[in-house]
Amino acid sequence: MKGLIRKDLYMIWTYGRMLLLMSAVFLLFGAMGEEQNYFFLVYPVLFAGVLPVTLISYEERDGWNSLCDTMPISRKTVVNERYVMTLLCFLALYVLTLAVQAAVLLPKGRGAALAQLACTLPSVGLMAPAVMIPVTLRWGVEKGRIVYYFFIGVVVALGLIGANYLSGLSGEIAGFGMGAMLAASIAVFALSWLLSIRLYEKREL
Amino acid sequence: MNAIEIRGLEKHYPGFDLRLDLELPQGCILGLIGENGAGKSTTIKSVLGMIRPDAGSITVLGHDNSKNFAPVREDIGVVLDEGGLPQCLNAAQLGRVMSGIYRNWDQAVYEDYLKKLSLPKDKAYKDFSRGMKMKLAIAVALSHHPKLLVLDEATSGLDPVVRDEVVEIFSEFTRAEEHAVLISSHIVSDLEKICDYVAFLHKGRLLLCEEKDALREQYGLAQLSKSDFAALDEAAVIGHRATPYGVTAILRRDAAPAGLALEPVSIEDLFILMVKEGEQ
């Protein structure tokens, strides 16, 4: 897995550099202004979550999937690496976003808003790759991309509506709702991981 | 021991069926010859466990390739037609990636190949010419001390100089007795130079699998008039091509009429005429 992670880091540095820079800019925008702008807060985490998935399209173009399948790496390891990389990317931007927001929100005594953010960001950052990775690994990049647009259009909107709805509820109920959302995101991500292993092991390359 | 044993392999796709029995003895180079779509890549993918056969069994380096095959790939070097290496990586980065993938990765051997093949370390793979890409893929395939080399159309699209260089590397590899090479190509002249055995694939069927030198001993090329050709025993004819001036035929030497002048047959002629004969 070490070699695969090394390869992904090289690829992220080549293909994701500009997007990383944009994420940094969005993080700064998200820290400005009086009100929280969810778009600027969500984008870096969403981007970080799907970055390892977008690498699959470059790999398919290069024929890496086929070559990798001739190496002493099981398909399960290939899938595991993809999810580990997704988690690493997500966590890096998740922690960074929370750190920046903590610096903005905590001095204003808005710890609850920070907690809400901490619970809702994984639903975006983890759910997107959780849906895309199995589809992309099994049916290829094109179908994965369709799912991605569908996800961006519908699921993110639902997530944001949910977050706004939760913010209108009383503290205890909202807290429970946010906790449930976080747990659901993690559960879906874990299920997606298992499903991807099954689907990729059956794929003919 | 055989490096590869294919028994009763069947793979079916819509409009294409592969049925194959094949062996590659250790220490030998087997050339898989066939036109595009003959089943060469399907055979190679089956050998490498990339696709699941519908029937039959495949043993590679003594291991059944349907059971926990990934560790066996440590001993297999593969070069695919499409290269397959990440375009954005350079040779130095590729070395570091591969050292994390192959337990037997030998950085010194890799660096030697880069030097020998005049491959720059810091240039991205996407900026390489087709020949350089193939040479880098070969360097990667050989730098973890494989026992079996599998090459799918590795020489196609290369200029004659690079092709010669590449063919020389393969020959060098098989100087060790425990090494074996399975190489597929539709450029028969490449295989003719280096192979010990040749296998002809046509439309998913094995037309022939023989030692290359035996083929030359067994078959010969004859230029005949149409009437002389018509008088031949059918069993003697392996393939033929009619021209306005007569018939070019490949005949079994042991069944050809005594006294008939037979020229040495090239693998390319043998393949083309056998395929045509099959279609007729």
Q: What is the mean pLDDT of residues A128-154?
A: 80
Question: Same domain for B20 and B126?
Answer: yes
pTM: 0.85
The answer to whether A17 contacts chain B (CB < 8 Å) is no
Question: Same domain for B115 and B93?
Answer: yes
Residue-level pLDDT at A159: 66
Where are any strands of DSSP class E within B88-236? 148-152, 180-185, 197-202, 205-211, 219-224
Indicate the average pLDDT of chain A: 84
List strands edge to edge, sheet with B180-185: B63-64, B55-60, B2-13, B16-25, B205-211, B197-202, B29-34, B180-185, B148-152, B76-79
Is residue B65 assigned to a domain? yes
Please list every residue in chain A whose beta carbon sits closer than 8 Å to the beta carbon of residue B93. 10
Question: Same domain for B90 and B222?
Answer: no
Residue-level pLDDT at A23: 86
Residue-level pLDDT at B280: 64
CATH of the domain at B8: 3.40.50.300
| pLDDT tens, residue by residue, A63-114 | 999 999 999 999 999 999 999 999 999 999 999 999 988 888 888 888 888 8
The answer to whether A76 contacts chain B (CB < 8 Å) is no
Query: Which of A186-190, B135-139, B270-274 has the least mean pLDDT?
Result: B270-274
Question: Do A69 and B50 make contact, defined as CB atoms within 8 angstroms?
Answer: yes
Q: What is the mean pLDDT of residues A188-204?
A: 92
Indicate the average pLDDT of chain B: 89
Question: Do A204 and B52 make contact, defined as CB atoms within 8 angstroms?
Answer: yes
CA distance B155 to B166: 8
Residue-level pLDDT at B92: 96
Question: Same domain for B266 and B190?
Answer: no
Q: What is the mean pLDDT of residues A157-179?
A: 69
**DSSP-derived secondary structure letter, B234:** G
Q: Could you give the number of structural domains in chain A?
A: 1
- Select from A69, A74, A197, A202 the residue whose CB has the most chain B CBs within 10 Å, as the one to mutate to test that interface: A69
Tally Cβ neighbours within 10 Å of residue B228. Answer: 15
Greatest CA separation for chain A: 56
CA distance A172 to A178: 10
Residue-level pLDDT at A168: 66
Residue-level pLDDT at B27: 87
Which residue, chain included where needed, has tokens 């870096």?
A44
Q: Angle at the Cα of A189 (from A116 to A128), degrees rounded to 5?
A: 70
Residue-level pLDDT at A81: 95
Residue-level pLDDT at A174: 67
Task: Provide the residue range defining the domain that includes A191.
Answer: 2-202
- Select from A1, A7, A79 the residue whose CB has the most chain B CBs within 10 Å, as the one to mutate to test that interface: A7
Is residue B209 assigned to a domain? no
Question: Do A72 and B97 make contact, defined as CB atoms within 8 angstroms?
Answer: no
Q: Judge whether residue A189 has pLDDT over 70.
A: yes
The answer to whether A67 contacts chain B (CB < 8 Å) is yes
Helical (H) or strand (E) element with B240: strand B237-243
Q: Judge whether residue A49 has pLDDT over 90.
A: no
**CA nearest to B83 within chain A:** A63
* Band (A54; pLDDT cuts 50, 70, 90): confident
Question: Same domain for B116 and B226?
Answer: no
Query: Which of A76-85, A176-185, B179-188 has the least mean pLDDT?
Result: A176-185
Question: Same domain for B75 and B163?
Answer: yes
Task: Name the phi and psi angles at B2, rounded to 5.
Answer: -85, 140
Higher-scoring residue by pLDDT: A31, A71? A71
Question: Same domain for B63 and B185?
Answer: yes
**CA distances (Å), origin A90, targets A46, A75, A126:** 8, 23, 7
Which of these three, B203, B230, B261, is where a domain ends? B203
Question: Same domain for B199 and B238?
Answer: no
Q: Could you give the number of structural domains in chain B?
A: 2
Give me the residues paired with residue B240 across strands.
Answer: B249
**CA distances (Å), origin B57, targets B7, B53, B61:** 5, 8, 13
Tally Cβ neighbours within 10 Å of residue B44. Answer: 23
Residue-level pLDDT at B61: 94
Which of these three, B203, B226, B252, is where a domain ends? B203
* Alpha-carbon dihedral B213, B214, B216, B217, rounded to 10 degrees: 120
What b/e sequence results for A46-82 when a residue is b if at least 16 CB atoms lie within 10 Å of its CB, and e otherwise? Answer: bbbbbbbbbbbbbbbebbbbbbbbbbbbbbebbbbbb
Pure H helices in A63-110: 64-68, 75-105
B142: tokens are: 């050989």
Give the length of chain B. 280
Q: What is the mean pLDDT of residues B24-44?
A: 90
Residue-level pLDDT at A116: 82
Tally Cβ neighbours within 10 Å of residue B70. Answer: 15
Please list every residue in chain A whose beta carbon sits closer than 8 Å to the beta carbon of residue B72. 72
Question: Same domain for B173 and B244?
Answer: no
Is residue B208 assigned to a domain? no
B124: tokens are: 């991205």
Which residue, chain included where needed, has tokens 């098989």?
B174
The answer to whether A61 contacts chain B (CB < 8 Å) is yes
What ipTM did this prediction achieve? 0.86
Question: Same domain for B89 and B28?
Answer: yes
Question: Same domain for B173 and B65?
Answer: yes
Report the percentage of chain B scoring pLDDT > 90: 48
**CA distances (Å), origin A92, targets A12, B40, B88:** 13, 45, 23
Give the length of chain A. 205
| pLDDT tens, residue by residue, B103-149 | 999 999 999 999 988 899 999 999 998 888 988 999 999 999 999 99
- Select from B43, B101, B107, B151 the residue whose CB has the most chain A CBs within 10 Å, as the one to mutate to test that interface: B101
Task: Provide the residue range defining the domain that includes B6.
Answer: 2-203
Residues 6+ apart with CB under 8 A from A84: A1, A5
| pLDDT tens, residue by residue, B54-98 | 999 999 999 999 988 999 999 999 999 878 999 999 999 999 999
Higher-scoring residue by pLDDT: A147, A118? A118
